[in-house]
Structure 1
Amino acid sequence: MFKKGERKHSTTSSLKQEHPEVQLHSTTPYPHRLNFYDVPPVFDVTLEEFESAALARLRILAEIESSFVRNRPHDELKTVTDGQCKKYLPLNANTASLADLQSERRTDHVGHFVLRLAFCRSEELRRRFVKAEMTLFRVRWDTDDTGERNAFLKSRSFGWEEVGAKEKEMYKEELMAVPSSIKQSELRSQSDSGQYYKVRWTRVPDLVEKRRVFLKGGWAYVPEREQSSIVFQEFQTNLEKALDMTAKALPRLDEDSRLIPILNNLSQGFLAGVPSEWLSSSSSSAEGSGVKAEEIDDLAKKHFPMCMRNLHESLTRDRHLKHMGRLQYGLFLKVLGVSIDEAITFWRRSFNKITDDKFNKEYRYNIRHSYGLEGRRANYPAKSCQQILTQEQPGPNESHGCPYRHFSEDNLQSALLASYSAQGLKTTDLPEIMHTVRAGHYHVACTRVFEITHSRGGVKKGEGVGGGESVTHPNQYAARSRELEKAKQEKAENDRDAMLVDG
């Protein structure tokens, strides 16, 4: 493994050998916010940067995939994606004088190429990666400054020819007859000089399919307002070719035991639709925040996601959980804010069919171990959705795992209604939820359940756990649920105080 701060000399040197022509480029600052990622990073990268840059980008791509599953219109997808980018992967314009532009663009550059390594391994991964990256590029294109976007276009050759005045006049009627994909009201606000660009029709198959261009002699006459289609198609074509090349070069990385586990984790997370563990200040500060053992049952009914509701109900019913169930639920409770003393009290009360001696010998040590008080005294984090979905699948008589993935359809629907009908979930909501389950997007199903059961608290469809973000961690679900309840209580108290003042 790399030590913290250790450099990846072997990876860097191989990239330099394969791309000697880009060494000058690597020493030049990133001039544009938009990037076609033509050349790989040929500078030293620490293992920490290697992983963190990839995880930041993976969060964005996973949320884009969630938007596809939820059939978000492009404007809503753009708003959600732009918000996620600002949160996890900011990429400011050149006019942002206070931002560290080169650092932001370096992170973006490194993250893209790491994910190429992770997602070039199968046709399915490559297809999904290209689609998500295409969408991210389009969102950045739409939100880019017009001047900087034009500078980016001038910085590279797209192989188009500007149509001269004589040729435009020759085909004036045909060009004017082509319908626009842009509404007239939107067209007025865009820069459109009436310029046309000529490219081979195979370069713009989407415009040809939609009859948005005039075709003549194998050439497509693309109006300026549709110029972006040429750019997007070029980006997609380049990326597809690059992924094929990366897949052929990947076997040379198999000997590097430092990188393969990271790449495997990234690709598994993308397949599961969940990028990584939930990263929030509340995830660390919650520990020891004062949740009492006797409060857990009430919290489970109000604020727990389905996986933890299932574990809690199984524990209540059977007065026991097997090892993996205890581990998954115990770490969740730890991050929820249950102290070690309260945890021991809770588990002892729950395991009320065994003697004190048996509990102390067989269970107390493991509880203390999960809190970092025994063994190697590691501070174990709670399991993320990705880990729950991809690790330690439940067997017979086991209750851990993700119900959306591991329950049969009938059992899942019954469990959802039994657990959340009091919070507003109805039978009519199930078809939409089950559609995402059948498609394998389990965290999207969980997110939709969160929206439905918190609609009384003001959560709207598509809002997720905030800003359109999907659930990626059970503690994220619980923390946001408790925040909404607290805000509702504070509002009620303020309203009462206001009524008393008015009275």
Structure 2
Amino acid sequence: MFSARERRNYGQVEVHNDPKRRYPYRLNFYDRPPLEDVTIEEFETFALDRLRVLAGIESSFVRNRTYDELKSVTSAHCKKYLPLAANTAKSVDTDAERRKDHIGHFVLRLAFCRSEELRRRFLKAETTLFRVRFDEDDSKERESFLKTKEMNWIDVTDEEKSMYRDQLMAACDFTKEKLAAERFVKVRWTRVPDLVEKRRVFLKQGMAWVPSSQQSSIVFQAFQSSLEEALKATSKHFSRLDEDTRIVPLLDNLSRGFLAGVPSEWSDATSNPSGDEIKAEMVDDLARKYFPMCMRHLHDELKKDRHLKHFGRLQYGLFLKVLGLSIDEAITFWRRSFSNMTDDKFNKEYKYNIRHSYGLEGKRANYPAKSCLQILQSQPSSQDSHGCPYRHFSPDNLQAALLAAYQTQGLSTSDMPEIMHAVKSGHYHVACTRVFEITHAAVGIKKGEGVGGGESVTHPNEYAARSRELEKAKAKEAEEIMLVE
């Protein structure tokens, strides 16, 4: 893929002043591609873990979190999926962590370069991630990193600072003591539009005089401009990958990551992880208490019509399977639900498909339950019941359905504007997650917590399992209190 000479040159550039470190800093402008062999597994997993972080950032935007809240959520996601230890850390392979960060960024750059909308969303999320890391980085490491970048700013001399003392104090809201201790640089005003907009810098002859306490704005703008140009350049050359049947499908899946959040381990769920077996007669009660809207709707339609079409049965049946409904109980459940047909018709037309979904017929594959992303990508007709209500219902029908399903669990009309805002902006998983938070406030879930640690709902079984888990914990806590009393 790259010549030996290119690899040697790349290594020389990246080493900087420490021959033992290929990646000497946590911060990275990603201005040099990773010129090395990357396995398909690394290609996918590195990008997927980074996408989990970026999806969390975008969810925070949609939910109007403050910067401090966004920073907290992003830091938690980075610690879990994309850790970057400082140079002073011991017993940590910092080069391996930074290699993962580096490769993951460039893979996602490929995935998100192909349209203006994808580039815009990727650029915003990546710039925010860089800002969070910049704010949290060790000050000495940060200064060392900035010295390796050409920021093209001009230092303001003491004479200039003294000459325009009153203007600088007024623009920056500084005292005389603060002004004396501050260092200023001059840049074109177009490089700090955020500071100009807020009137926090002194402007003279097209130059903004930026104090050292605000110079991060220059860095962020430089990062954003550099990445924006790189995305456009990548887009022009993307056609070279069209014939690569290994890479393009992976990139297609990654580019859909903002649609439904990033699939969690539930995406490959083929059996009940909690080990709790449920009975056919329990399903109705479970649906009213724990099911997400997509499965609640399917259950209600099944009760009303005593039938579901094929894709509805498939979506709901696999969900119930992973929930803990055994094959025998599944046959019992579906037979009772299809009460308007004979045993002979049920056995001939439906029993085989039920057994097939459990891996007992046909090629005997143990099919996983469908993730939110798979459900969102389905195309139900007006006569179908499957799909995602947040995407496939009209706004009026969605609001009516949500209130009918969850009003007894705390959802009210005052919650609808926030939920519908997420729906209208295409963040269906954020809307579903907000419904989860509202309906589980009584068991201790607060706004912003999601299904745990700020994570969004990415799988119907994740929603149901977490809901049951919270109620069990609440019941156990109440029982312990009673024993103490």
Give the shorter-chain TM-score range.
over 0.9
Report deviation, 1:149: 1.4
Which sits farther off after the overlay, 205-214 or 124-133?
A: 205-214
Q: TM-score, normalised by structure 2?
A: 0.92
| Residues 1:454 and 2:443 aligned together | no
CA offsets, 1:452-497, max 9 Å, x none? 1111111122222122222111111111111110111011101100
Q: CA deviation at 1:67?
A: 1.0
CA shift for structure 1 position 281: 10
Aligned-pair CA distance for 1:368? 2.4
* Alpha-carbon shift at residue 161 of structure 1 (Å): 2.6
State the alpha-carbon separation in 1 of the partners of residues 299 and 32 from structure 2.
51
Deviation at 1:277, TM superposition (A): 4.1
Equivalent runs, 1:224-235 vs 2, <5 Å:
224-235=212-223
CA distance in 2, matches of 1:226, 1:273: 36
In the alignment, which of 222, 235, 247 is matched to residue 247 of structure 1?
235
Give the equivalent residue in structure 2 for 1:215. 203
- Specify the SS of the correspondent of 1:212: coil
Query: Which residue in 1 is equivalent to 2:463?
Result: 477
1:370 and 1:380 in contact (8 A); partners too: yes
Q: Secondary structure at 1:388's aligned position in 2?
A: helix
Write the distance in 2 (CA, Å) between the matches of 1:273 and 1:281. Answer: 16
Higher deviation after alignment, 69-78 or 143-152:
143-152
Aligned pairs (5 A) from 1:151-300: 151-179=144-172, 193-270=181-258, 272-279=259-266, 286=273, 288-300=275-287
Correspondence list, 1:55-454, <5 A: 55-179=48-172, 193-270=181-258, 272-279=259-266, 286=273, 288-390=275-377, 392-454=378-440
* Mean Cα deviation higher: 276-285 or 339-348: 276-285
**Separation in 1, partners of 2:275, 2:354:** 15
Deviations 1:332-391 (A, max 9, x none): 11221222222222222222223333333322222222223333333322211111112x
Contact 1:65 1:273 in 2 (8 A): no
Deviations 1:419-450 (A, max 9, x none): 11111112222222222222222111111111
Q: 1:412 to 1:296 in 2, by over 3 A?
A: same
Distance 2:248 2:10 in 1: 26
Q: 1:46 aligned to 2:39? A: yes
The DSSP-based 3-state class of the residue aligned with 1:106 is helix
1:220-264 per-position Cα deviation (integer Å, ceiling 9, x unaligned):
211010010010000000000000100001000001111111111
Letter in 2 for 1:476: E
Contact kept, 8 Å, 2:290 with 2:468, in 1: the verdict is yes
- The RMSD of aligned alpha carbons is 2.4
CA contact (8 A) 1:287 1:338 kept: no
Q: Secondary structure at the match of 1:37?
A: coil
C-alpha contact 1:287 1:335 (8 A) present in aligned 2? no
Contact 1:66 1:273 in 2 (8 A): no
Question: Matched residues in 2 for 1:406 and 1:451: separation?
Answer: 22
- What is the percentage of aligned positions where both structures have the same residue? 66
Structure 1: distance between partners of 2:68 and 2:302: 45
Q: Does the CA contact (< 8 Å) of 1:283 and 1:475 recur in 2?
A: no
| Residue ranges of structure 1 left out of the alignment (5+ in a row) | 1-11
Cα distance in 1 for partners of 2:244, 2:2 equals: 14
Greater Cα shift, 53-62 or 284-293: 284-293
Give, in angstroms, the shift of residue 19 of structure 1: 9.1
User: In structure 1, how many angstroms separate the alpha carbons of the residues matched to 2:430 and 2:480?
Assistant: 34
Partner residue in 1 for 2:18 = none
